Amino acid sequence: MTIDELVRRTMREWAGEAHTPEDLAARVLAGRRRRRVRRAGAALAGAVAAAVAVAAVAVATPVLTGPERGSDRSAATADPTTRAGTTEVRARPGSSPPDGLIAAGRVAVYAYYVWRQKGDDPGNGVTRTWYLYDPAEDAYDKTPWATLDVAPGGRQAAVVEAYPASRVGLLTVETGEIRWVEVGQAVGAVRWSPDGTRLLATTYRRDPDGGYESPLEERRPARTGFALIDPAAGTSHRVALEPAADERNTRSDLDWSRDGTLVREHGSRFDTPYRFYDLDGKQVAAPPDESVAGSLEAGLSPSGELLAVHPRAAGPVETARPVETPPTAVPTSAEEQAVAAVRDLRTGEVTTYTPVSGYHIEQLLTWADDGHLVAWACEYAGGRKVCEGGEFRNRLVLLGADGREAIPLSGYREHSQRSGSWEPLFTPAEVIPQDEPHRARTARWGLSVYA
């Protein structure tokens, strides 16, 4: 790195420190400087001296707002850290994929992947290239892993080599050290438990990203079951669990229930979004409010009082069904076009997300805290068009649960369904004890660990 580059980077860091609340990012930047001092020595000292000479330059930080039609004002934001009410936000509205950490409230994007289609035929499958957040550099590094998951708090990751790897690596993010745990069967996905003490590995007899080997009517996923891994002991235990009879996707990964006591499988019906199994693979009843008809990916809020739902899930929570739209009707009003809402489970009141801060809310992904969700959203065009540039041109936003404000977190994906697009991995910013899952806390996104 040249002296000029070091000067410019140092100035950007100082500008960021001037606006970072509660010394949140300063600790990371300090750690990063210490590392660079060791690597750059006198060159860094010269760069700092040069920066001091021009330190009187004022740096203005624009306020994060909704988009102007045909423009992206937020891309000029200099300071990635801001607030939405009392919720701390670290945004990268000018980059897609993000060029630095995205975080809000209790969640952070510690990793993301870029997917690419194999060849010209979609049936050939996809490859995924994973990028893992490096807090020392405040950047995402390309990894060699076929899949991974980051533990709550961001200090550790579980990594898997290319199929048919039958072991899971336990990676310490700060040092890069890896311990391997043998599973005994090919692993296609891995998930940390909510408390960060166990791992759930989904096992396959065929590469889940390898494409289809038969006509549509004969397609069956190749999942064989799952393995429960004890990272502390370095042991694993396999359980057989074939996919449901109506499952047609080659990939059918398993996940944890909200409290980490059950295994969860995505359903294929509106009235049964999830199926649940005990740790021996026996199907059991769904926990209260975790498989409600019409519920969306974000699910329950941290307090358990709010539920992300489709706005046309009519009737009581227990019997909700979509309202049928006549096949000839084309939704033109904002209310008819809405596809995301939140239901208050205490009162039954539903807040439907019509355009918010100039965005059409497309998909509710996860809760940042009890008052905010992270969502995919497109720039609202109005009328039958709905989205400026099409529904697949979208960005991450932080959405107020009351539907009054949306703050951009990332730049726009130009086409989310096109090869080369990226998908974020959301991770709890810190470990949540099982005996107090709803305890209020101030998120620090694991950054202080590296100061």
pLDDT tens-digit series, residues 34-61:
343 333 333 333 333 333 333 322 222 2
Is residue 428 pLDDT above 50, yes or no? Answer: yes
Question: What average pLDDT does the structure give for the chain?
Answer: 78
User: How far apart (Å, rounded) are the C-alpha atoms in residues 97 and 120?
Assistant: 24
Highest mean pLDDT (candidates 118-132, 142-156, 306-320): 142-156
Asked if residue 421 lies in contact with residue 115, where contact means CB atoms within 8 angstroms, the answer is yes
> pTM of the full predicted structure?
0.77
At 67 the pLDDT is 39
Mean per-residue pLDDT, 218-235: 89
User: How far apart (Å, rounded) are the C-alpha atoms in residues 405 and 104?
Assistant: 14
Is residue 143 pLDDT above 70, yes or no? Answer: yes
At 331 the pLDDT is 63
Highest mean pLDDT (candidates 272-276, 300-304, 331-335): 300-304
- Token pair of 19, please? 């606006």
Is residue 77 pLDDT above 90, yes or no? Answer: no
Residues constituting the chain: 451
Is residue 234 pLDDT above 90, yes or no? Answer: yes
User: How far apart (Å, rounded) are the C-alpha atoms in residues 426 and 149?
Assistant: 9
At 114 the pLDDT is 98
pLDDT digits (tens, 9 = 90+) for 8-31: 444 444 444 433 333 333 333 334
Q: Residue 17: exposed, middle, or buried by beta-carbon count in 10 A (0-12, 13-18, 19+)? A: middle
**The residue to which tokens 């404000």 are assigned:** 405
Per-residue pLDDT band for 319 (boundaries 50, 70, 90) equals: very low
At 245 the pLDDT is 77
Asked if residue 326 lies in contact with residue 355, where contact means CB atoms within 8 angstroms, the answer is no
pLDDT digits (tens, 9 = 90+) for 242-263: 988 777 778 899 999 999 999 9
3-state secondary structure of 21: helix
At 228 the pLDDT is 98
